[in-house]
Amino acid sequence: MGRLCERPGCSQPADVIYGIDADHLTVWIDPFDGTVEYRAGVLCRRHADAMVVPLGWMLDDRREPVPRLFKPGEATNVVHDKPRPRKQRASRDDTGQLELGEVDDIDEADEVEQWKPVFDEDDDLDGLLKARGPLLSRAFGRREKK
C-alpha cells in the first residue's frame, strides 16, 4: 500500500517527499518514488503546491528538472460563447426627485427654516425598546423608580 499525505485530515496518496535543511534555511521538495529518506515527510500534490516557508527561508522545488519562474495554470477546455446583448428594462423608479427651492440671496437662505428631527423620549415602541436590566437602563438613561 502506498503512503498517504501527512497533513491532518488529508487521505490523498503521497506525491512528493519533503525535508528541511535548517543550516541553510531551506525546505526541499522532491518527487516521491516510493522510498523515504531519513527524517523526510510526504505530501500530496495539493499540499505540496500550497507549501509556504517562513520569512527568510527558501523553498527548493526539485520536482521539475528545469526550474521555472512561474508555474503554468491547469489546462481547462473552456469554450467562451459570444456575450449576448442585455435587454434594456424600463426604469421603474417612481419615487421622484425631491425638488428644493432656489435661494437667490444669502440673506434669504438664513431666513429659511431648517428641518430638525423631533424625538419622543417617552415612546418605547410598545415595550420593544424597554431596557429591563439595570445595566441597559443605566446605559439608555431609563432608570426605573424603586
**Backbone torsions φ then ψ of 110, nearest 5 degrees:** -70, -30
Residue 103, in any domain of the structure: no
pLDDT tens per residue, range 74-131: 666 666 667 777 776 666 666 666 666 665 555 555 566 778 888 777 777 777 767 7
Burial state string for 58-86 with b = 16 or more CB within 10 A and e = fewer than 16: eebbeeeeeeeeeeeeeeeeeeeeeeeee
Residue 90, in any domain of the structure: no
Residue 96, in any domain of the structure: no
pLDDT tens per residue, range 12-69: 999 999 999 999 999 999 988 877 777 788 999 999 999 999 999 999 988 888 877 7
Residue 45, in any domain of the structure: yes
Which domain, by its residues, includes 39?
16-61
Residue 119, in any domain of the structure: no
Residue 20, in any domain of the structure: yes
Contacts 24+ apart (CB under 8 A), 103-109: none
Q: What cell was used for 14?
A: 503521497
Within 10 A of 103 (CB to CB), how many other CB atoms are there?
12
Residue 29, in any domain of the structure: yes
Residue 86, in any domain of the structure: no
pLDDT score, position 70: 75
pLDDT score, position 101: 61
- Tell how far CA 6 is from the center of its chain: 27
pLDDT score, position 104: 56
Domain count, the chain: 1
Question: What is the model's pTM?
Answer: 0.46
